[in-house]
Every structure is written in C-alpha cells, then in structure tokens.
Amino acid sequence: MPRLPLAALLGALALLPAACRSRAERGAEAPGAATSRPPAPFDWSRPAASLAMDAGEVAARLGPFEWEATATWTVVKASDPEHPIHVSERHLLRQQAKGAFRVSTELDPGTWQGAETGRTLVFDGARTFARGRWSPAGGAFRARPNDRGEEARRHREESFGLAEQVARLCGPALELAPAGELRVLARAARRYELRLGAARPSPATPPAGLSSDDDTRRRLGLLEGRVPQALEGELVADAETGAPLAVHLRATFGTRDDPGVRVDLSLDAAVTGVGDRVPAVQAPAKLAPEPKAHGVARALEAVGLRKKGEPPAERAEPGEPEPAEPEAP
C-alpha cells in the first residue's frame, strides 16, 4: 500500500465518526447563544454517554473549562514493517459557559521537518477569527466574517470529540466497568475501565455510487472493515454531572480484508481547569490586514470593470510594480 494513500486513510479514520454525527445528535447551537435550559441529570446506567458529550454540553454542566489532549496514530503493514506511518496530534481548548471558545490543533504527519500543520480558532460569541501555524505578520489572526460559529464549532468538536471517535470505531465491542472513585480538580469523580467485550462491529454496506478506485477501496477496508483487536484505558467522569474529566486509552485495530494492516492509537485527554480560574475568551487584539488586490484585480479596475459595490483596489506599496495599463485597441 503506497505511503500517501495510507496517510489519507488515517486522516479519514480520525474524522469519519465526527462527520457521521447528525445535527440532532450534536445539538443545534445557535451562534453565540448558550442554551437556557439546564442539562438533564446524567444517566449513570449509560456511562459511555460521557464520552459523547460535546464541549458545549460539558461547559453547561461544569462551567468554563480548559482541556488538552495528545493523540498518536501509527499504521503498520506486514509487507513493509520498516516504514510505518506515524501521525501525532495536540489539541488545546478553552471553553466558556456562554459559548465563546478558543481551540488550537497541531498535527505532525511524521514526514519531514517543517511539515507540521495546525490552526487556532477563536469564537467570541458572535465572530470567528483564525490563524494558521505558519501565519505571517507575527501570527496575527484574520477575521472570518462568513463564519458565525458553525465552522468554528465543527473544528472544535473534531478536537474535543477524539474519545467519542474511538468509541465509535470500537462499536458494540466497547465496555465500561466501574473502577472506583477519586477526586480530580477538587471534584468527586467516578472511574471506569475501558475494555473490549466479545461483540464486534458488523460489516457496513458501502453507499451506492461510491468510487471503486484502489485508494477508496483501501479507505473502506479500514473504515468499514475495521476489527477492534485490543483496548485498555480509563474514563474519569465528574460524579455530579457525568462530564468527562479525563480519558486515557490505547487501542489496536485490524481489517477484515487485509490482516496485514495494523493501526495503533493512543489518546490522553484531560480537563486541566474549571470555574473562575479559566481565563475569558476574547476577540484577538491584533488582526492581520486584509489581502490587497494585485495584478489582474487592479488592471480590471483601471478599465472600469470593478464589480458594483466593490471597494477600489489599494495602491501598491512603495517598491511594488504597478500593473501595466491596457493598451487601447
């Protein structure tokens, strides 16, 4: 299996469960608004529901909180054990009870120095701001006027939903067993052991009209033919609200179609602060300037082809060549 398709396969594996969640399952949050209805008491007969809580629900139960997680994915093929694919992720989230949040993600594809990617998004309750890992201008944020929170929340849940994604990959094989009580962040908590039971996910039927090229078949072989082989870890849930305070797990998956493929996953995620000590989330004080119109845009304006209502293109900075004026026919 070529290296690049496997890397793409791994990314799809990580994101598929979050993408499959319906809007009703996630809860339709109004941009910038916190729900006025208090969350229902947690049902301790279904402790796995703690893994499925999104960041908005956790904030409604705990109040403001900070959270961090590290995850690694390693894919090994028996025919090429000397060249595994190793991807690591780091996630940070600061969430306010009224809806504002700041989320950062860093991804190291394990290829070469400088290949790391990442982004930070800030949602202040009404507006979204973003910057990439390699953003110029001192790392200043850019405003995203077309995103009033929907896309920002999607990126947030791709980070905060890591534990749920693994739970979905395990399917009915996932079991939680009570393992005592403890205190975390001065709060009473319940601990559950994560393990695999006898059940296994049933084969999924590929959607009609799906491409049958080699890359797609390899992705489906893992996404739909996955076989949970090992799982160990723990969930620490807040005793009062059921909110997840910590998740630590190690999991191994194989595939039905290719027994030579093995995927190893490790995840360590924890709430690191709650309550009044969590700093507020505010709009960035420094924003990068909007990109200037260059080349063709200024040439079109020069001949009167600027769109109606569009502001004039900014003039070139000193030392920047002006576009050539179009010649008369």
Domain ranges of the chain: 3-277, 293-329
* Cα end-to-end distance, the chain, whole Å: 57
Pick the range with the lowest mean pLDDT from 58-62, 163-167, 205-209: 205-209
Q: Tell me the chain's radius of gyration from C-alpha atoms.
A: 24
Contact 251, 217 (CB under 8 A): no
In terms of Cα–Cα distance, which of 288, 318, 313 is closest to 303? 313
State residue 228's pLDDT score. 92
What is the C-alpha separation between 223 and 126, in angstroms, rounded?
36
State residue 70's pLDDT score. 97
Contact 214, 232 (CB under 8 A): no
Task: Kindly indicate the confidence band of residue 23, based on its pLDDT and cuts at 50, 70 and 90.
Answer: very low
Task: Kindly indicate the confidence band of residue 256, based on its pLDDT and cuts at 50, 70 and 90.
Answer: confident
Entry pTM = 0.75
Q: In terms of pLDDT, which residue wins out, 165 or 317?
A: 165
Contact 108, 87 (CB under 8 A): yes
State residue 36's pLDDT score. 61
- CA distances (Å), origin 153, targets 55, 206, 274, 325: 9, 28, 20, 46
State residue 38's pLDDT score. 83
What is the C-alpha separation between 19 and 223, in angstroms, rounded?
13
Query: What angle separates helix 3-20 from helix 214-223, to the nearest 10 degrees?
Result: 50
- CA distances (Å), origin 302, targets 310, 316, 322: 14, 14, 11
- CA distances (Å), origin 58, targets 27, 244, 288: 13, 8, 32
Parallel/antiparallel/unpaired status of strands 174-184 and 142-143: unpaired
- Over range 149-172, report the average pLDDT: 93
**DSSP H helix total and E strand total for the chain:** 7, 11
What is the C-alpha separation between 180 and 317, in angstroms, rounded?
66
Q: In terms of pLDDT, which residue wins out, 7 or 174?
A: 174
- Mean pLDDT across the chain: 80
- Over range 63-75, report the average pLDDT: 96
State residue 57's pLDDT score. 96
Residue partners of 225: CB distance under 8 A and separation at least 6: 203, 255, 256, 257
